[in-house]
Amino acid sequence: MESSRYRVESVAEAVQAVDELMTAGLRKVDILSPELDPALYDRLEVVDAVRQLAVTGGRRAEVRILVRDGGEISRRGHRLATLAQQLTSAMEIRRLADEHADDDTAFLIVDGRAVIRWDAGSGYAALVEPEGRATARRLQRSFTERWDRGEPDIELRRLNL
């Protein structure tokens, strides 16, 4: 069986890979991106994919995002931060715990099978696995550990006045 793994090196290739995986998502997306990279995630295509996932996934839809500083992301007006305030039942952004705050690990997991894993310190170079269930399971454990230790960032909460 031929592997569907491939590498991307440029921002354009990384954006295309994010779009392909996100638009194929049916129920669950986990994003670990310390800065919630705007070139990858602060785009209408990603917002539309998350909205569609929330609709098609219904009550089982779940989008979890881990970042280093939610306040900075909110101040930048990041589209996903705004969307998280609207889709509170399906989407949450948490701040990484202090023990993980200096870690530049970044990856995207879609529906427990599709993965993009960025190479630390190498820009947009990444390994893309559209059918990477084994990698997804391993990264899911790492994500869940970080998620459980992370905290909701008060600067990202919606203010209802």
Q: Which structure tokens are listed for 109?
A: 């997991």
Q: List residues bridging with 7 in a β-sheet.
A: 127
10-residue block means of pLDDT along the chain (161 residues)?
A: 81 98 94 95 96 88 93 88 90 92 91 94 93 96 96 67 36
Residue owning tokens 């990477």 = 132
pLDDT value of residue 3: 60
Q: Which domains does the chain have, with CATH numbers?
A: 6-154 (3.30.870.10)
**Which H/E stretch holds residue 95?**
strand 91-95
pLDDT in tens, 14-52: 999 999 999 999 999 999 999 999 999 999 999 999 999
pTM of the model as a whole: 0.92
CA nearest neighbour of 124 among 4, 34, 15: 15
**Which H/E stretch holds residue 65?**
strand 62-67
Q: 119 Cβ partners below 8 Å, 6+ apart? A: 125, 126, 127
